[in-house]
Amino acid sequence: MTPEEFKKSLEKQGIVLSDKQMNQFELYFKRLVEWNEKINLTAIVDKKEVYLKHFYDSLTLAFERDMTKEGLRLCDVGSGAGFPSIPLKIVFPNMTISIVDSLNKRIKFLTELTTELGLDKVNLYHSRAEDFGQNKLYRESFDVVTARAVARLNVLAELCLPLVKQGGQFLAMKAAKSEEELLEAKKAIALLGGKVVAEREVSLPITYDERFIIEIDKKKQTPNKYPRKAGLPNKKPLI
């Protein structure tokens, strides 16, 4: 996907990018490739693939969910190189984003990147998600929490749902559909105060690769003991 194809494909979804935003994505790509030579940020460095599999893919979250709400607070757990939150922030500059990542090198990259891109209302936290979710300053304070991670849904739910405020939403981005994974996570999601309301299938342009967005509404407060201490959600997932 060339930058021009990226722009035209988004227009079909009702997202119109300005020249400034296109320039921000171009700079994002350049800095991603430069930093990737120093620290491992992504296995994808080909320009067309970055625009399709990172930038466009990140923005699929906004195809059916309104991201223009004034004062929207979004938290991206385990963001890595800033996906999906930085592309969303470029397109919807009024939102406030918080990125939580356990590797300080990635936070340093994101600090320099967001400064150079001229993005405000960006908060970067070097923390384990388990510790962040137990911090009373951030717990149950976000409208939207998202994770574009390889962890199974019952693990992601424990890391993310404690951060979602009641009435908010957890959006899990998955590369493959798995009814087994959804079934496995059902009890954990309910225990943590969530309810699965939709499973949305998205087809990427050009390659027609499938992506899945699982929408989970926060119906009630998460019990105080969750998330458990760092490492436990992965070692002993809720089932």
CB 83 within 8 A of CB 54: yes
Angle at 65 between CA 223 and CA 99, to 5 degrees: 55
The answer to whether the annotation marks 129 as part of a ligand binding site is yes
Q: How far apart are CA 84 and CA 45, in angstroms?
A: 16
The answer to whether the annotation marks 11 as part of a ligand binding site is no
Strand 194-203 with 164-174, pairing: unpaired
Q: What is the dihedral of CA 164, 169, 171, 177, to 10 degrees?
A: 120
The answer to whether the annotation marks 112 as part of a ligand binding site is no
The answer to whether the annotation marks 29 as part of a ligand binding site is no
Q: What is the 3-state secondary structure (H, E, C) of 154-204?
A: HHHHHHHHHHEEEEEEEEEEECCCCHHHHHHHHHHHHHCCEEEEEEEEEEC
The answer to whether the annotation marks 147 as part of a ligand binding site is no
User: What single letter denotes the amino acid at residue 194?
Assistant: G
Annotated binding-site residues for S-adenosyl-L-methionine read: 78, 83, 129-130, 148
Annotated binding-site residues read: 78, 83, 129-130, 148
